[in-house]
Chain A
Amino acid sequence: MSSLKSTLETTFCGIPCINPFWLASAPPTNCGEQIMRAFDAGWGGAVWKTIGEPITNVSSRYSSIDWEGRRMMGFNNIELISDRPIEVNLREIAEVKRRYPKHVVIASLMVESKRETWHEMVQRAEDAGADGLELNFGCPHGMSERGMGSAVGQVPEYCEQITSWAKERARTPVIVKLTPNISDIRMPARAAKRGGADALSAINTINSITGIDLDTLQPNPNVDGKSSHGGYCGPAVKPIALNMVQQVQADPESALPLSGIGGIGSWRDAAEFILLGCGTVQVCTAAMHYGYRIVEDMQDGLLSWMEDKGYRTIEDFRGLSLPNVVEWKKLNLNYQIIARIHEDLCIGCQLCYTACWDGAHQCIHLDRAAAIPDTTRTPAMVEAEAARKISTTPIPKLDAGTLDGDTAVTPLERIPRVDEHHCVGCNLCSLVCPVEGCITMERIDSSLPAESWEERGAKGATPPGGREVMNTNT
C-alpha cells in the first residue's frame, strides 16, 4: 500500500491551477452562470467563449457522427464566437473571478486584425480580472471568412504579428490557440513563440463536413437546405490532436507550455495529453454530451492512476512519453513480434482469420482439425465446405448428446492457428479480436542487435531508391 498523496494542483505558465481540467472556449463556457456551475462540479478552469464584436448565429449549428449505435463519436459545429455584447461577457468574468478566485478564467479573444483593437481588447479583458488570455487563431468557420480565427492561424506572419500586439499590452500570460487546418502545425507554433506567446493551446477544430442526408441530399447541420464546413471535434479527433501536440512539443522552436485539446473525455485521455507534454487539458464535446459532471471521474481517475504510478504531481509525469515518439527511420528494424492466439480464450469468431487473409499477410489458418498444417486452404474453400454441410434441429430424444453440447468450449476447428514463420507482427489480428488478451503479440528473439533504417543507411546497406531525398524535419 502506497501512502503517496498525489495532487492535481499545478501551475500553467505561471497561473496556479487547482486541477488541470479546463473547459475549452465553446458553448459550455458561454456565460458566467454556466461557468460557475462548472466550477461547482469540479472544473479547475474555463476558457470563456471567445469574446469579440457580437456576431449573429444560424440555426441549426451542430451535427455529429454516430458509430455503431454510439452517439457523437465525432462532433461538428458552425457556431461562431460569442453572440453576447463584450461588456456583458467582461462583467460576468469579473463576477466569476470575485466568487471563484481560485479557479482559472481565461478570456478567449478574437477581434479584427488591428493593433489598437487588440490592445484595447487585451486591456479590457485583463481589467475584468481574467487570469490569462487565449488568442483564438483557430476558429475554422465563419470568422475565417472575415479574416479572423484560422485565417490568422494559417499564416505564420499574421500569427506572429498579432501575438506580438497582444503581448505589447498584456500583463497576464498570452496563450495562442492553434488551428490544425494547416500542413505543419509547427509553423504557426513557431510564429506564436517568436511573437512572444507565453503558452499554446492545441488543437482547435478540424474543417469538416459530417455527412449528407441521403433523402434530401443536403449536408448537416442543415440551415435551410444548405450547410457550411464546420469544426470537427470529439473522440474521433483525439489521435490527430495527440500527433499535433507531440509535433509542437518535440520542436524546440515551438515548445511552450501547452494546453491540450481534442477529443478528451476521460482521465485516460487527459493523462495521454499530459504524457506528451501538456500542462493542462481542455474539454468541450464530452461536457456537451454528458454535462459538467464528467469532471468528477476525470479528477478521481487521474489521481488514482497517479498514486498507483507513484507520481505526486502533474509535473512528475508530464512529457514522459515524448522521448518514445521518434521518426520512423529511428525504429528498430530487428524487433520482431508474432501473434499468439490463446486457445482457452478464443470464442471462434474467426475475425482474425478473415482479417489476416484479406487485410494482412495470409498467415492465419483454419487447419487445427487437419492432420498436418494446411496453408493452402483458402477462405473460399472454408465457406464452400460450410455451405455443403447439412445441419438439422437437434431434438432432445432423437439427437441425444448433441443438444447439451457445451457451448462454453470453442470447437478446435474454429480456433485459428498462426503460421509463426510468416507472421510479420502487424498487430491486425489482435486489434480485430473482440476478446481481451486472446491474441497477444509476443516478442521473439531475432538474435540481431537493434538497427534502424538510419543506421542501416549510414552503413550503406539500404537500396539507393529508399534513401532520404528530402529532409522533412525542417
Chain B
Amino acid sequence: MSERIPFFQQSAIPPEVIERFGDLHPSFDRQAAVVEANRCLYCFDAPCTGACPTHIDVPSFIKKIASGNLKGSARTILDANILGASCSRACPVEVLCEGACVMHRYNKQPIEIGRLQRFAMDALHKSGAPLPFEPGADTGLKVGLVGAGPASLACAAELRRRGIHADLYDARPLPGGLNTYGVAEYKLPLVESLREIEMLAQLGVQFYFETMIDAEKLAEIEHTYDAVFLGMGMGAIHRLGIGGEELGGVTNALDLIAGYKSGKITMVPRRVVVIGAGNTAIDAAIAARRLGAEEVQIVYRRGPEQMSAFKFEYEHARAEGVKFLWHTQPTEILGDRSVEGVELIRLEATEDGSIVAQTDSAFCVEADLIVLSIGQSTYTAFLDEFRSKSGKVQLERGRVVVDRMTGQTTHPKFFAGGDCTNGGREVVDAVADGKRAGIGIAAWLEAHHVIA
C-alpha cells in the first residue's frame, strides 16, 4: 500500500477539458461563509437535518463555521456522512436540505447549506489533516464489499470505525463508482471524489480493482468473509430496441460522462441528440455542449411536466443552450456506418393517459452523436445464479430486497445498499444506505459472534 500513488493523482482528464467544466457553485471565501453561517437560525430538530438522507447535523456544522471551529465543522459533517465533500457538491440540495430550510417560509433565501458544507470540507482538505476518526480496535472480523461506490465506501467507514476489516471489490481501476465517474465535472470534479476516498483509505480500507463479481466469485467471498455487503449499483443503460443502434456514434449518457471524466473523450461532434429527460440525460447534454457540440437536443416522449429531471436541472440545461423536443420518440437511427441522424415521430396523450403516435408525424433530425439516457437496467442477475447453503438474496424487479433500517437482505449474511436496492438515486442516498448497513452489519456480527 505504501508505494501506491494516491488516487487523486491518477486523474487522466486533460487540463483543457477540466477548464471547460468550471465550478457550477463556486466556493465561499472565509468571510462570506461566516456571514452566510450567521444567517442560519439554528433550528431545533432542524428540517434540513431531517431532509438529509444521512442526517448531517446541519445547524451544528454551520454554527461551527460561524465560530471559526472549522475542524469541528468538518468532523460533524463526516461523522454523519463520510463523503461529506462529494455530497456538498453533488447533492441536489434544492430538494434536500436547502429545500427544507425554514427560511423559505420567512420569505427569504434558504441558507446555502451545500456551499457551507463544501467550505468546511475544503478547509479540512486544504489543512492536509487526516480523517478525524481512528479505526476501532481490531475485532478480527472481516467484511467483503461488492462495489467501491458511495454505498460500499460509507459501509466500509462504519466497519473500520468499529474495528472490522473491509475489503472492497470493484470492476473499475479507481474507487468511487458513479461518485468518481458519473457526476458532472462542474458539480463534482473527479479529483475531489478521489481525494475524499483517499482520506477514507487511511482508515485501512482495502481495495481490489478491476475485479468483476459473478456468482462463483460471490460464493468465494461468502466463504472468506464474516459478512458481505452488496453495493454494486446499477447496470448498463437500456437500449431503445430500434434500428441503427449498432452504428458508430451511438453511445449512452453514463459512457459519455465516464468517458470525459477518465480522459478518453475530449470532444464531441457538432450535432448531438440525447434521448431521455432524466438528470443523467441533462448532465450528458450539458457535457456535450461543453465538449464542443453546437447543437444539443433532448428528445423526450412526454412533456416537461413528466420528465424525471429536477426543475433546476432543466433550467440549467436551457441556460446552457440545450434544446428540448417534447412528445417525440425515436423510431430509427439513421446512417451508413456512423450516425447521420435520427428519425422521430410525434406523440400525443390519449384520454386514458397513454401516449400514441400521431399519424404521419415522422420527421428527421440530423445528428453526429446519439446519447441514450433512458434509464439503467439492474445488475443483479449474478445473485439469481448464486446458490448458498444458508439462504437466498431475494430480488424484486431486479432490485435487492433489504430491511431499510439495517440493510440486511433475506440472506442474513448479506447486506446491501445504494442503487442496487433503491433503483438509482443520489450519492447521498447510497451513503445513507451504506452507513445504516455498516452499523447493521456490526450489530449483526456482534450478536452473531457473541451467541456463536
**Do the beta carbons of B308 and A397 come within 8 Å of each other?**
yes
Q: Most A CB atoms within 10 A — which of B44, B308, B310, B422?
A: B44
Q: Mark A330-359, 1 if CB is under 8 A from B, else 0.
A: 000000000000000001111101100000
Using A347-B105, A392-B425 as known contacts, say yes or no to A407 and B99 having CB atoms under 8 A apart. Answer: yes
Among candidates B50, B96, B100, B423, residue contacting A389 with C-beta atoms closer than 8 Å: B50
Q: Most A CB atoms within 10 A — which of B45, B308, B436?
A: B45
Using A347-B105, A390-B404 as known contacts, say yes or no to A403 and B95 having CB atoms under 8 A apart. Answer: yes
**Do the beta carbons of A393 and B95 come within 8 Å of each other?**
yes
Among candidates A68, A392, A435, residue contacting B429 with C-beta atoms closer than 8 Å: A392
Q: Mark A380-393, 1 if CB is under 8 A from B, else 0.
A: 00110011011111
Inside 8 A of B219's CB, which chain A residues have their CB? none
**Do the beta carbons of B92 and A393 come within 8 Å of each other?**
yes
Inside 8 A of B55's CB, which chain A residues have their CB? 386-387, 391
> How far is it, in angstroms, between the C-alpha of A403 and the C-alpha of B99 when the chains are bound?
9
Inside 8 A of B308's CB, which chain A residues have their CB? 395-398
**Do the beta carbons of B405 and A390 come within 8 Å of each other?**
yes
CB nearest neighbor in A for B52: A391
Using A392-B425, A393-B92 as known contacts, say yes or no to A383 and B104 having CB atoms under 8 A apart. Answer: no
CB nearest neighbor in A for B405: A390
B41 adjacent to chain A (CB < 8 Å): yes
CB nearest neighbor in B for A390: B404
Say how far A10's CB is from chain B's closest CB, in angstroms: 40
**Do the beta carbons of B41 and A434 come within 8 Å of each other?**
yes
Inside 8 A of A395's CB, which chain B residues have their CB? 308, 425
Inside 8 A of B432's CB, which chain A residues have their CB? 390, 392
Say how far B301's CB is from chain A's closest CB, in angstroms: 13
Using A408-B105, A434-B106, A435-B106 as known contacts, say yes or no to A394 and B43 having CB atoms under 8 A apart. Answer: no
> How far is it, in angstroms, between the C-alpha of A382 and the C-alpha of B43 when the chains are bound?
13
Say how far A405's CB is from chain B's closest CB, in angstroms: 9
Instruction: Count residues on chain A whose CB falls below 8 Å from chain B CBs.
Output: 33
Inside 8 A of B428's CB, which chain A residues have their CB? 393
Inside 8 A of B38's CB, which chain A residues have their CB? 68-69
Using A68-B66, A383-B45, A392-B425 as known contacts, say yes or no to A408 and B34 having CB atoms under 8 A apart. Answer: no
> How far is it, in angstroms, between the C-alpha of A223 and the C-alpha of B12 when the chains are bound?
54
**Do the beta carbons of A391 and B53 come within 8 Å of each other?**
yes
Within 8 A of A (CB), among B74-112: 91-92, 95-96, 99-100, 102-106
> How far is it, in angstroms, between the C-alpha of A386 and the C-alpha of B428 when the chains are bound?
18
Say how far A231's CB is from chain B's closest CB, in angstroms: 27
B309 adjacent to chain A (CB < 8 Å): yes
CB nearest neighbor in A for B99: A407
> How far is it, in angstroms, between the C-alpha of A71 and the C-alpha of B42 when the chains are bound?
21
> How far is it, in angstroms, between the C-alpha of A123 and the C-alpha of B105 when the chains are bound?
65
A414 adjacent to chain B (CB < 8 Å): yes
> How far is it, in angstroms, between the C-alpha of A403 and the C-alpha of B313 when the chains are bound?
14
**Do the beta carbons of A347 and B102 come within 8 Å of each other?**
yes
Among candidates A69, A393, A414, residue contacting B34 with C-beta atoms closer than 8 Å: A69
CB nearest neighbor in A for B35: A69
**Do the beta carbons of A350 and B45 come within 8 Å of each other?**
yes
B395 adjacent to chain A (CB < 8 Å): no
A410 adjacent to chain B (CB < 8 Å): yes
Within 8 A of A (CB), among B27-71: 34-35, 38, 41-45, 47, 49-53, 55, 66
A54 adjacent to chain B (CB < 8 Å): no
CB nearest neighbor in A for B95: A394
Inside 8 A of A353's CB, which chain B residues have their CB? 44
> How far is it, in angstroms, between the C-alpha of A395 and the C-alpha of B428 when the chains are bound?
13
Using A393-B95, A403-B95 as known contacts, say yes or no to A348 and B47 having CB atoms under 8 A apart. Answer: yes
Say how far A212's CB is from chain B's closest CB, in angstroms: 14
Within 8 A of A (CB), among B6-39: 34-35, 38
A379 adjacent to chain B (CB < 8 Å): yes
Inside 8 A of A397's CB, which chain B residues have their CB? 278, 306, 308
Say how far B31's CB is from chain A's closest CB, in angstroms: 9
Inside 8 A of B429's CB, which chain A residues have their CB? 392-393
Using A69-B38, A347-B102, A386-B49 as known contacts, say yes or no to A393 and B425 having CB atoms under 8 A apart. Answer: yes
> How far is it, in angstroms, between the C-alpha of A383 and the C-alpha of B422 when the chains are bound?
26
Inside 8 A of A366's CB, which chain B residues have their CB? 45
Say how far A188's CB is from chain B's closest CB, in angstroms: 40
Within 8 A of A (CB), among B252-287: 278
CB nearest neighbor in A for B101: A407
Among candidates A350, A393, A407, residue contacting B104 with C-beta atoms closer than 8 Å: A407
CB nearest neighbor in A for B428: A393
**Do the beta carbons of A396 and B106 come within 8 Å of each other?**
no
**Do the beta carbons of B45 and A382 come within 8 Å of each other?**
yes
Among candidates B34, B53, B91, B310, residue contacting A396 with C-beta atoms closer than 8 Å: B310
**Do the beta carbons of A414 and B47 come within 8 Å of each other?**
yes
Q: Most B CB atoms within 10 A — which of A347, A393, A435?
A: A393
**Do the beta carbons of A386 and B50 come within 8 Å of each other?**
yes
Using A387-B55, A390-B404 as known contacts, say yes or no to A351 and B50 having CB atoms under 8 A apart. Answer: no
> How far is it, in angstroms, between the C-alpha of A354 and the C-alpha of B43 when the chains are bound?
9
> How far is it, in angstroms, between the C-alpha of A97 and the C-alpha of B58 when the chains are bound?
60
Using A347-B102, A379-B44 as known contacts, say yes or no to A393 and B49 having CB atoms under 8 A apart. Answer: no
**Do the beta carbons of A398 and B423 come within 8 Å of each other?**
yes
Inside 8 A of A379's CB, which chain B residues have their CB? 44-45
Q: Mark A151-163, 1 if CB is under 8 A from B, else 0.
A: 0000000000000
Inside 8 A of A391's CB, which chain B residues have their CB? 50-53, 55
Q: Mark B292-328, 1 if CB is under 8 A from A, else 0.
A: 0000000000000011111000000000000000000
Which B residues contact A (CB, under 8 angstroms)? Answer: 34-35, 38, 41-45, 47, 49-53, 55, 66, 91-92, 95-96, 99-100, 102-106, 278, 306-310, 404-405, 422-423, 425-426, 428-429, 432, 436
Please list 8 pairs of residues, one from A and one from B, whose beta carbons are closer than 8 Å in the complex, sorted by A's number: A347-B105, A350-B43, A351-B42, A386-B50, A390-B432, A393-B92, A397-B308, A407-B105
12 A-B pairs besides A349-B43, A379-B45, A397-B278 with CB distance below 8 A are A348-B43, A348-B105, A351-B42, A354-B44, A386-B50, A389-B50, A390-B404, A392-B429, A393-B428, A395-B308, A407-B105, A410-B105
In order of increasing CB-CB distance, the 3 nearest A-B pairs are A397-B308, A350-B44, A354-B44
